[in-house]
Structure 1
Amino acid sequence: MNKDSKAAIWAVVHEEREALARDLEALPAAQWDIGSLCPGWDIHDVLAHLSDSATTTRLGFIRGMVSAGFDFDKDNDRGVERARRAEPLETLQGFRDVARLTSTPPAALATRLVEAFVHGEDIRRPLGMRGGYPAAFVAQGLDYQVRTSTKMGGGKELAAGFKLVATDTDFECGAGPAVRGPAIALLLAVSGRAPGYEELAGPGSRDFLQRVVGEAREH
């Protein structure tokens, strides 16, 4: 990936972090405890995770995983504990403070897009909000997810046997019954979050969503 491509991705990630902070600045206190789309985490937890993740370096990630016994979920939970403050608005300010960082764990830069978009929807959808995500960059995250195993946080197995087609940008992949919808809905699905049935169409959409729902129940 060349320097211009990296810069473009970081610009989108930074804008998304700042947009999410703006969306949450007037959130009533009671709504911070609403369950997110990320199993086991409420809205406050997901924001804390995003704040901690924004500061994660390659070396820091490795140290954290070693300390957690290479238990990815345990390492994430520790990160939430580090970044979550007693008051949600304090956590939000902490998130603002790190929003422009370009730290990253040892993973493809596309994971920063996946994290920003998927966790953004993890927070927004239960609150009745929707983000205005740039479809071409969502497609970059989607392309990464469909080529990455679920064991590594991707959605390759979820997408297998279907042809995924974005209706709002130039993206299609796979072979089989077609599943069509906005790139963000497809990205959520291959990241283990079932979008609404009305968001996807095509002969493969129902079977695809049933697979996603089944995977989510297992976790």
Structure 2
Amino acid sequence: MRLSPEERERVFAAVADERRSIATLVEGLDADQLATPSLCAGWDVKTVAAHLVSDFTDGFWGFMASGVRHGSIDRGIDALARRRARASAAEIAETLRSRADHRLSPPITGPLSGLTDVLVHGADMRMPLGLPHHPDPQHVARVLDFLTSRTQLGFFPHRRLRGIALHDADTGRIWGHGRAIAGPGVALMLAACGRTVAFDSLAGPGLPVLRSRLHLPD
């Protein structure tokens, strides 16, 4: 998506704020909390935080190279996250904080992919720990702009939302056309990214369609 210079600045500032918030979260967790399974399948809370470090320490081209070595981009990203997770929680938190202002803008996906990463993964860490996750509804709306755009790559197949309209109760905005799914913006964001924990906050005839595409039982 094309963003104006002012919009880009707002996105980078939002990403930086969320990285600092996650740094504070991580440094306050004990060993059991860090080892808690996150909403991101196969990763514990600490590994999710390590992935957010990998976003800017390894970067897009590091992900590509690791993907070649490991046979797919997903396996490559997983390997890098697990390697970064060998650092202590204190080191991960310090890196997130000291490099919070790093301007992540990969080819094609641009700055909004970085905002999507921190907001979705922030929920991946906080929700299993029973902690609140209430990002700015306008930031969530920008993520939904991205997730429903043609420039979204790597988060989920575009066909997942085909024929579905997302109705955000927080901003009143609607994305897509077809059977409606309505609810809070955060829940729409997480459901689109395959986090089924969000389904309890959503309703509408599009929900069974999304469930079937995620291969979930009725």
If the length of structure 2 is used for normalisation, what is the TM-score?
Answer: 0.86
Distance 1:143 1:104 in 2: 16
Match of 1:111 in 2: 113
- Conserved? CA contact 1:55–1:101, under 8 Å: no
- Please tell me whether residue 20 in structure 1 is matched to residue 22 in structure 2: yes
Distance 1:57 1:21 in 2: 19
Q: 1:59-80 CA deviation, whole Å, 9 max, x = no partner?
A: 44444444444x1122212321
Q: 1:153-199 CA deviation, whole Å, 9 max, x = no partner?
A: 23532222222100101420222232111111101111111134431
- Conserved? CA contact 1:64–1:75, under 8 Å: yes
Identify if the C-alpha distance between structure 1 residues 73 and 204 changes in structure 2 by more than 3 Å, giving closer, same or farther.
closer
- Please tell me whether residue 41 in structure 1 is matched to residue 43 in structure 2: yes
- Conserved? CA contact 1:185–1:200, under 8 Å: yes
- Conserved? CA contact 1:56–1:105, under 8 Å: no
Distance 2:185 2:151 in 1: 19
Match of 1:79 in 2: 80
Distance 1:60 1:28 in 2: 30
Identify if the C-alpha distance between structure 1 residues 151 and 13 changes in structure 2 by more than 3 Å, giving closer, same or farther.
closer
Tell me the CA shift for residue 137 of structure 1.
1.8
Greater Cα shift, 31-40 or 156-165:
156-165
The percent of aligned pairs where both chains have the same amino acid is 32
If the length of structure 1 is used for normalisation, what is the TM-score?
Answer: 0.85
| Structure 1 residues not aligned, in runs of 5+ | none
- Conserved? CA contact 1:148–1:154, under 8 Å: no
Aligned residue pair count? 214
- Please tell me whether residue 161 in structure 1 is matched to residue 154 in structure 2: no
Q: 2:202 aligns with which of 178, 183, 200?
A: 200
Give the letter for the 2:133 counterpart: G
User: SS where residue 215 of structure 2 aligns?
Assistant: helix
Match of 2:89 in 1: 88
- Conserved? CA contact 1:164–1:178, under 8 Å: yes
| Structure 2 residues not aligned, in runs of 5+ | none
Q: 2:145 aligns with which of 121, 124, 143?
A: 143
